Amino acid sequence: MTATPHPHDYPDVALRAEALESLLLEKGLIDPKVVDGLIARYQNDVGPMNGAKVVAKAWTDPEYKARLMANGTEAIKEFGFTGPQGEHIEVIENTPDVHNVVVCTLCSCYPWPVLGLPPSWYKDPAYRARIVREPRKVLSEMGLDLAEDVAIKVWDSSSEVRYFVLPERPANTEGLDEEQLAAIVTRDAMVGVAKVSGP
Amino acid sequence: MTDLLADIPADGPAAPPRANGELLFEKPWESQIFGVTMALYAQQVFAWSEFQAALIVAVKRWEDIHPDGAGYRYYERWYEALESLLDSRGVVGVDLVDRRAGEFASRPVGHDHDHDHHH
């Protein structure tokens, strides 16, 4: 009896993926139009601009912020942002004393409804292992130098909880409205590998 | 498993890039298998937690035999997770995938098997 082959033993995963898709099509389990629509949705419509709106509202509306901190998933749903990987979102707030950064060491869990699909560096084994072990060094390599007296907390997302960072609102943004604030919030700031800089 | 990837250089190809805006998918088949997975999930062929458990197994399996992390391809692990989940659930057996992939591999050279068309 031979062991079940695994895809990595084959040089062409693309070919196996195509084979599997053709079998699923024959079984009527997938509809190409639906598949295309889902790809387009995640490439175009779901992304960090969603999370930026959530952050901007939290910065400008204390009551919304309280709801967001109490139950991330429910408060995010107020914007209509739902779906897989959005079931248990916990929001963690950066302060002048504590900087939060998110990883998923086991696979690449990520709060899709607010951030879209993860960037390649988030999925990389190097980021996943090193951000836990030497967060200050990795953040510095990614361009974020934090003062020694700022504590860094690393949050390991899992299938149970996905973390989402509420960045600090930059100084000199008092005159900006919610929409203008959303425009300056970046994906990296909501993962915690950057800060939001002013306009 | 302690000190996994301790020797990954900070500025080598495995170092996290500093810029935003990279592509979500590197190859057409990656976006395709992503869409297929989401379509199967939408049809409730499996629960999301089941797919995630399979993905964690596939990632760990790869990392156990590639402790330096070099050559990691997220969507290859994603594919492996989907294939094994569908096999274990009796939806599509691995043997069928083997056979179909073998047929595709013997197609004439030059056959376009990128997913920029549908049947």
Tell me: the pLDDT tens digits for A132-187? 999 999 999 999 999 999 999 999 988 789 999 999 999 999 999 999 999 999 99
Comparing CB atoms, the residue among A7, A121, A159 nearest residue B52 is A159
Residue A159 annotated as catalytic = no
Sequence letter at residue A48:
P
Q: What string of pLDDT tens digits covers the 119 residues of chain B?
A: 333 333 333 333 333 333 345 567 888 899 999 999 999 999 999 998 899 999 999 999 999 999 888 888 999 999 999 999 999 999 999 999 999 999 998 887 666 555 444 44
d(CA B118, CA B52): 28
Per the structure block, which two tokens stand in for A76?
């995010």
**Is there a contact between A142 and B16 if contact means CB atoms under 8 Å apart?**
yes
Active site residue A22: no
A12 contacts B94? CB cut-off 8 A? no
Q: Report yes or no: B7 and A131 within 8 Å, Cβ to Cβ.
A: no
Nearest Cα of chain A lies from the Cα of B69 at a distance, in angstroms, of: 6
CA A96 – CA B114 distance, rounded (Å): 50
Task: Please name which of A173, A171, A167 lies closest in space to residue A186, comparing C-alpha atoms.
Answer: A167
pLDDT at B16: 33
| Residue B113 CB neighbour total at 10 angstroms | 15
Asked if residues A68 and A58 have their Cβ atoms less than 8 Å apart, the reply is: yes
Q: Is the pLDDT of residue A60 over 50?
A: yes
Cβ–Cβ < 8 Å for B76, A8? yes
Q: Which residues pair with A156 in a beta bridge?
A: A103
- The residue with tokens 């989402």 is A164
Q: What is the mean pLDDT of residues A50-72?
A: 97
Q: Which of B62, B97, B118, B119 to mutate to test the interface with A (most CBs of A within 10 A)?
A: B97
Cα–Cα dist A72/A54, whole Å: 10
To the query of whether residue A109 is one of the catalytic residues in this protein, the response is: yes
